[in-house]
Amino acid sequence: MEKNQIIKKAEAYLDSVEKEFESDLAALIEIPSVAWKKEGVYTFGASCAKVLDAAMEMGKKYGFKTENHDYYCASIISGDKKDEIGIVAHLDVVPAGSGWRYEPYKLTVESDKYIGRGTLDDKGPFLCGLYAMRFLKEKGISLPFSIRLIAGSDEEVGSSDLEHFAKVAKPPFFSFTPDAEFPVCIGKKGILQVDVMLGELPPEIAEIGGGTVSNAVPDSAYAVIWDDKSDIHSFPAQSNIIIERLDEKRLKITATGKTAHAAMPESGINAIGILAAYILKNVPVSGKKPFEFLASACGEYFGRTLGIAREDENFKYLTCVGGKLTVSDGIMVQNFNIRYIPDTTYEPVLKQIKDMLTPQGFAVRPVLTSEGYYVSADDKKIKALTEACETVLGYECKPYTMGGGTYARWLANTVAFGASIQEERGKFGEGRGDAHQRDEYISKAEVRKTILIYIRSILNLAEICSEN
């Protein structure tokens, strides 16, 4: 059967199974599968085990083989061919948090939207993969490979689920993961987090801190100053600085900035850099070097102060965000989140930082590493996914690279592909509707188009394999 005919049949098929899809999605959403500590044989807690069991039952219901990988993750397998392609999704979710207009762990179907925690990230896209497999199986479409749908349960915490999978099973020769946006993401920057120890907190400062997470530009930072004499009005006024007296002996200086994700920090304003620059000019501290460093390093986002600035035609440039300033055992510690160009590993980047900062008396400690990847847009498999995307969406779809992390980085020969479609986003306004946000949703159009894209992608990949 010709590809276009198959897609037409798929469109009619999706109409017939819409209610089943909704029922399956509701069953997954009602499980609050936040990854937690090990409970007995359940690696990430009972709720994550429950959602893996539910997914495997769905796989069995539709005639697929299933494998439980020690409750780290599970596989749903279509076909008996030795070679496999993979669809890699995760069923754990971030905590719901507060402020929802809808029940987070109960599926709400509202006109064109499926609303609930995990609908977009990543239970809905998981089901899109399952229903693509179901269609191909039920219509008897012959493929030169098997399809393995991997359901993870630790993506939001650390992705040790995929590390375990790679140890106990043979990864597919090519996979895609639906935890980003269409079209194809062909490259992700590597991630390196480091702590820079800046030395002892000066005696003039009682407390200092800024930011709450490593992977975001901090929008607030503060310092409590020992000062029993100064009038707060004697300090120069500055729009992003607030000065208040706490008591007879202490003043508090608060700097405000603008937050932004560490993968795209250019739109942010780092409050730590603002605070350090203000202290340098207006507070007589013994030891200015740490504040000179903070003012410089947290005042730019490209790693120049750390000696690691780089540009690249595929990834534009390396980014570096000073996300958290803390004090540990009397030592000021600045954490940096670095997104480096993945034509190298983190070791050379770390060496450059140490070579730059050690002579200045600053100690450097690596905290977290995660390697990136890059696949050429000319790769036949990437072209196969791109063609499917363009055919279903009806417009040009150029592969892209990004600085953020996705599931794809944890399994060899894997790219991020969907399931978010830009024109379907933002229906609830800023701060609502997207992954990790309140009132998370996936639109019915996104579901339908994602399933069709995955069906056509699999058919395109089958043609490539048949040619070889």
Q: What is the pTM for the complete model shown?
A: 0.83
The reported pLDDT for the residue numbered 38 is 86
Burial of 81 from C-beta contacts in 10 A (0-12 / 13-18 / 19+): middle
Quick check: 184 and 386 in contact, CB under 8 A?
A: yes
Separation of alpha carbons 312 and 372, rounded Å: 14
In a shared domain, residues 356 and 380 = no
The reported pLDDT for the residue numbered 432 is 92
In a shared domain, residues 333 and 184 = no
In a shared domain, residues 86 and 27 = yes
The DSSP line for 311-343 is EETTTEE-EEEEEEEEEETTEEEEEEEEEE-TT
Q: Look up tokens 């501290």; give the residue.
A: 285
Provide, for the chain, the percentages of residues in helix, strand and coil under a 3-state DSSP scheme, each rounded to the nearest 5: 35, 30, 40
| Averages of pLDDT over each 10 residues, the chain, 468 residues | 90 97 98 90 94 98 98 97 97 92 97 96 97 98 97 90 94 95 94 96 97 91 96 94 96 95 91 98 94 98 98 94 96 97 94 98 94 92 97 96 82 93 92 91 98 98 86
**Residue where a domain stops, chosen among 344, 370, 396:** 370
The reported pLDDT for the residue numbered 468 is 66
In a shared domain, residues 416 and 345 = no
In a shared domain, residues 437 and 307 = no
In a shared domain, residues 349 and 398 = no
The reported pLDDT for the residue numbered 245 is 95
Domain ranges, residue 333: 190-370
pLDDT tens figures, 321-366 = 999 999 999 999 999 999 999 999 999 999 999 999 999 999 999 9
66: which strand partners? 76
Separation of alpha carbons 24 and 55, rounded Å: 9
In a shared domain, residues 335 and 356 = yes
In a shared domain, residues 15 and 88 = yes
CATH of the domain at 308: 3.30.70.360
Stated length of the chain: 468
**Residue where a domain stops, chosen among 329, 345, 370:** 370
The alpha carbon of 440 is separated from its chain's Cα centroid by a whole number of angstroms, namely 15
In a shared domain, residues 337 and 391 = no
3 state SS of 60: helix
In a shared domain, residues 117 and 199 = no
The total of structural domains in the chain comes to 2
**157, two tokens:** 């915490």
Cα dihedral sign for 425, 409, 385, 76?
negative
Q: Look up tokens 């179901």; give the residue.
A: 134
**338, two tokens:** 């670095």
CATH of the domain at 432: 3.40.630.10
Separation of alpha carbons 436 and 379, rounded Å: 32
**Residue where a domain stops, chosen among 346, 370, 394:** 370
In a shared domain, residues 97 and 159 = yes
Half-sphere CA count of 90, side-chain side, radius 13 A: 30
Cα–Cα distances (Å) from 206 to 200, 222, 388, in that order, read 12, 11, 59
In a shared domain, residues 184 and 53 = yes
